[in-house]
Amino acid sequence: MRALPFDADSEGVRALLRAVPLAGGMPWPEGLRAVAALMLGSRFPMFAAWGLERRLVYNDAFVELLGERHPAAFGQPLQQAFTDSWSGLMPVLEAGLDGETALLQDLPLDIAWPGHAARHYITLSISPLREGEEVAGVLCMLTDTTERALAARQHGFQRELGATLRELLDPVEIMEAASALVGRHLGVGRVGYGEIDGAGQTVSVERDWTDGSIASLAGRTLVLDNFGAQARQALCAGRSLGLDDVRVDPMTAPYAAGYADIGARAMIVVPIIEAGRLAAVFYLHAAAPRRWSPSELALAEDVARQTREAVRRARVEESLRKSARERDALLQSERAARVEAERLSRMKDEFLAMLAHELRNPLAPISSSAALLNIQFRDEPRIRQASAIIGRQVKHMSRLIDDLLDVSRVTRGLVTLQVDEVDLCEVVRSALDQARPLIDEKSHRVDLVLPGGPVRVRGDATRLIQVVVNILNNAAKYTPPAGTIRITLTVGTGRACIEVRDNGSGMPADLLPTVFEPFSQGARTLARSQGGLGLGLALVKKLVEMHGGEARAASEGVGLGSTFTIELPCPQCEGDASSAGAARPADAAAFRPLRVIVVDDNEDAADSLATLLRVQGHVVAVDYTARAALERATRELPDAMVVDIGLPDMDGFQLGALLRAQPGLHDAVLIAATGYGGEQDRARAREAGFAHHLVKPVDMGALVRILQDAASAPRA
């Protein structure tokens, strides 16, 4: 392989990939052709190294991460292309070249562009590429995890700042500690506070923190107008300043001499307003130009607020120690703290909701890319294994995001129950279907005991299923492999009771009172090894209470298992509690193969789903357009159809309505498969005649259960 010059007027990397031959002019093998096609069609950054010299080729999405290295890096050997911070990739790439799959998370990479540089954090998966029996190269898929990595660092900084400020009582020590912490965290030269005089003309610095690259301003009083009238006006109006280069910024360039006097070239200045006037400023200075990010500006504002509040608290407490007459001031401070705590709590809930929504966006392409790898490299066990790992982690991330979003929405009162008559027997069965993958993964045995007849309550079926799923997942996670989970539904006078008992790790007595509180998982001895955010049981309690019920937890101690009980009002159970029938183990009914039509314009997805359903024993046909499916269904009269909503010739809602209008298809089970899972989408599916609505990627356990129920039902 040889390096080629980059033609800015060509099709970019696509043209370069087509133009690059292998050594000796040999044609590309099929494996490498598939890799090239995958890279060209992917929106994710990808690169491959091929041949004896391991020369680098990549797609357009990877160019943004290369920065100034592109296009010179194209076609170079890896050892020459990946230098400096990129050299950290080489040990993991060597593992791929040795035939191993690998995953590297949050690798820091410095990406240089003309005029500036930025540090990114990258997560990448690496798979070997084979030519016959030999490893001919590696394929890498990258994800930019900068936001998550920086958020984790910022979270750690906030915890350290909060702990430090709580321990200090002296106002000067508080300001010094906060300045030092934020200065080291952001890597700036000088941080400090300046007090503004009553006339708003000067700023005085008592002391500040420096890293040694810039002189301290301690003991100096500076005239504000020396730094620009516009800057002074912005601060007096309560607006923070983020100046990347004071010599070129139009607001500050005419006053470059004033900034040169204090040795600052870039800065953040946060105003502190008290009683309607500018009382102080919190500043961060750098001796060289620097591009401030929005998160850095927000962090500076938050530190200024927290520090000012801590200083105010310290001064109040100091005054109270000197005079009992100041007790009223302490009470006022506490009331203000409570108001602030409530405001911060609301901000936290709003942030969690926003975070959950934003985190959903990358999951769909990650899941699709994993499926694509699994389909294109179905004969490569290692790639299939890596794809399966990615798929499982995407599902786990989806569950965490759903819990995060639901807790926020329930806390803010944004969840409205869709109340209808619900059979708790079906709720339990559906929940068990959804929890089955985790239960089977841990090889648990499930004992299911249900009444002989339906147990009807008034409630939201979706939310009640969510309650039981969360309890079952909790039981599965905290029970050692090959454990036993017993699910019992009983009725009493006016109440229905769902009990989930496991023989797992149990709980200490001091955890029981807080087990349903958000994030209480952190107090468990083994919680960190099990993963999760500790939100599932908090959702259980809130949703059950919204239904007028009660959630309880019990355990005889660590290692002795746990029992979770859900009680719900049950008008059916008033009077004779035996009306729901005697409890009995749930049995499987007789099974018969179904005639199933799968409709999806994604041929790979349709064919793979059809294969899975054939393994279940069903007779499956596949159509890639709505019209072809309509013609086949009218001719063959299937028992069930799995229909993608986003079809090219007509959408799935229109197809569903047409199917329901056909003679002989009234009893066919129509199942919608879509990427949209809102209540509005489910309502449209019901109106179009669909009996079930599954969100992509389709939960195979739920689909198998739907078809099994249809196959077990008596023939009409």
Q: What is the CATH number assigned to the segment(s) 595-712?
A: 3.40.50.2300
* Averaged pLDDT, 23-31: 56
More confident residue, 31 or 255: 255
For residue 515, name the pLDDT band (cuts at 50, 70, 90). Answer: confident
For residue 182, name the pLDDT band (cuts at 50, 70, 90). Answer: confident
For 288, which DSSP code? S
For residue 697, what are the CA distances in angstroms to 35, 439, 640?
24, 20, 19
User: Residue 432 — left, alpha, or beta (φ > 0 → left; ψ -120 to 50 → alpha)?
Assistant: alpha
pLDDT winner (highest mean) among 97-101, 275-279, 410-414: 275-279
The fold for domain 420-585 equals Heat Shock Protein 90 (3.30.565)
More confident residue, 372 or 300: 300
For 503, which DSSP code? -
Q: Please count the other Cβ atoms lying within 10 Å of the Cβ belonging to residue 480.
A: 13
CATH 3.50.50.60 fits 164-322, yes or no: no
User: Residue 233 — left, alpha, or beta (φ > 0 → left; ψ -120 to 50 → alpha)?
Assistant: alpha
For residue 177, what are the CA distances in angstroms to 173, 208, 221, 621?
6, 10, 22, 69
For 317-326, write each residue's pLDDT tens digit: 777 667 655 7
Output the pLDDT for position 654: 92
Output the pLDDT for position 701: 66
Q: Is 1 helix (H, G, I), strand (E, B) or coil?
A: coil
Output the pLDDT for position 525: 40
For 377-406, write each residue's pLDDT tens digit: 777 887 877 777 777 677 666 666 666 666
- Say yes or no to pLDDT of 579 above 60: no
Show me where the domains of the chain are located: 13-144, 164-322, 349-411, 420-585, 595-712
CATH 3.30.470.20 fits 13-144, yes or no: no
- Distance between CA atoms of 419 and 422, rounded to whole angstroms? 8
More confident residue, 533 or 167: 167
pLDDT winner (highest mean) among 151-155, 176-180, 464-468: 464-468
Alpha carbon dihedral 81, 86, 87, 89, in 10-degree steps, equals -100
For 614-643, write each residue's pLDDT tens digit: 867 789 999 999 999 999 999 999 999 999
Beta strands in 89-186 (DSSP E): 102-113, 116-131, 134-144
Going by C-alpha positions, the residue among 684, 677, 631, 620 that lies closest to residue 657 is: 684
- Say yes or no to pLDDT of 597 above 50: yes
Output the pLDDT for position 94: 79
Identical topology for domains 13-144 and 164-322? yes
Give the strands of the sheet with 484-492, arranged side by side: 550-554, 562-569, 495-502, 484-492, 445-451, 583-585
More confident residue, 435 or 714: 435
pTM of the model: 0.37
Give the strands of the sheet with 46-50, arranged side by side: 55-58, 46-50, 134-144, 116-131, 102-113
Tell me the backbone φ, ψ of residue 421, rounded to 5 degrees.
-75, 130
Query: Which residue is it, tokens 């001499």?
Result: 257
Output the pLDDT for position 26: 52
Lowest-pLDDT choice from 463-467, 623-627, 696-700: 696-700
**Kind and range of the H or E element at 397?**
helix 381-411
pLDDT winner (highest mean) among 59-63, 129-133, 193-197: 193-197
- Distance between CA atoms of 260 and 30, rounded to whole angstroms? 63
- Distance between CA atoms of 521 and 501, rounded to whole angstroms? 19
Residue 538: HSE in the Cβ half-sphere, 13 Å Cα cutoff:
21
- Say yes or no to pLDDT of 371 above 70: no
* CB 516 within 8 Å of CB 540: yes
* CB 125 within 8 Å of CB 140: yes
Lowest-pLDDT choice from 21-30, 215-224, 316-325: 21-30
* Averaged pLDDT, 351-379: 63
Give the strands of the sheet with 595-599, arranged side by side: 619-623, 595-599, 640-644, 669-674, 692-695
- Distance between CA atoms of 117 and 330, rounded to whole angstroms? 48
Mean pLDDT for the chain overall = 79
Identify whether 71 is preceded by a cis peptide bond (ω within 30 of 0): yes
For residue 380, what are the CA distances in angstroms to 56, 130, 313?
22, 9, 63
Output the pLDDT for position 588: 41
- Distance between CA atoms of 549 and 417, rounded to whole angstroms? 14
- Say yes or no to pLDDT of 427 above 90: yes
